[in-house]
């Protein structure tokens, strides 16, 4: 019998918007992993840590989008999700984990994240283009890049190896 896992697609949300600019690229893959390991030990003790930590890992973290994919055992899914809601700080940065998707395969997580990020880009593009009728040069460059990204996403078939 194979080891069954659950994958959590999470978005890190900063609580203090002023700190975001200063600390945007300070978080690393290892910071998230060590914080979650400490939280497991804090909330579930030695027995819970012995049960949960071996099956936990951070699969993916993007500093630009603040999106991560976390893996745990299937039978520990509820405990893990509960523990994520109580994490408030990573390396003295006030954050909150927002679980945007749960899945049994990494392939479905990747497909979801492509769709999720495309929708966020589209929302940003619509806000930017509707906010100003006449855009300055920098805003026009951003709108052109977003238009190209949206067109590229529409043409892609989202197939993974």
CATH number of the domain where residue 19 is located? 3.30.70.3250
- pLDDT by residue for the chain (161 residues), tens digit each? 788 899 999 998 887 765 555 555 578 889 999 999 999 999 999 998 999 999 999 999 988 778 899 999 999 999 999 999 999 988 888 889 999 999 999 999 988 988 888 888 777 777 766 655 555 565 666 666 666 666 665 665 444 33
Same domain for 131 and 97:
no
d(CA 9, CA 49) in angstroms, rounded, equals 22
Are 39 and 87 within 8 A, CB to CB?
yes
User: Does any domain span residue 161?
Assistant: no
User: Does any domain span residue 96?
Assistant: yes
| Residue 90 parent element (H or E) | strand 89-90
| Domain extent for 116 | 111-155
Same domain for 93 and 115:
no
What's this model's pTM, rounded to 2 decimal places?
Answer: 0.74
Query: Rounded to an integer, what is the distance from CA 33 to the centroid of its chain?
Result: 13
Same domain for 77 and 21:
yes
**Predicted pLDDT of residue 120:** 82
SS3 at position 31: helix
Same domain for 90 and 20:
yes
Are 93 and 12 within 8 A, CB to CB?
no
User: Does any domain span residue 160?
Assistant: no
**Predicted pLDDT of residue 121:** 78
């Amino acid at each position: 019998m194979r080891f069954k896992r659950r994958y959590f697609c999470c978005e890190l949300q900063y609580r203090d918007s002023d700190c975001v600019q200063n600390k945007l690229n300070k978080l690393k893959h290892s910071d998230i992993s060590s914080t979650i390991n400490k939280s497991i030990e804090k909330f579930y003790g030695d027995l819970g840590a012995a049960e949960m930590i071996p099956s936990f890992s951070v699969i993916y973290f993007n500093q630009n989008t603040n999106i991560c994919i976390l893996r745990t055992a299937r039978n520990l899914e509820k405990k893990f999700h509960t523990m994520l809601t109580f994490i408030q700080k990573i390396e003295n940065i006030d954050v909150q984990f927002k679980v945007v998707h749960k899945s049994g395969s990494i392939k479905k997580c990747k497909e979801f994240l492509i769709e999720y990020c495309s929708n966020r880009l589209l929302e940003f593009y619509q806000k930017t283009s509707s906010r100003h009728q006449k855009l300055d040069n920098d805003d026009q460059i951003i709108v052109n890049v977003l238009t190209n990204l949206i067109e590229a996403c529409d043409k892609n078939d989202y197939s993974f190896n």
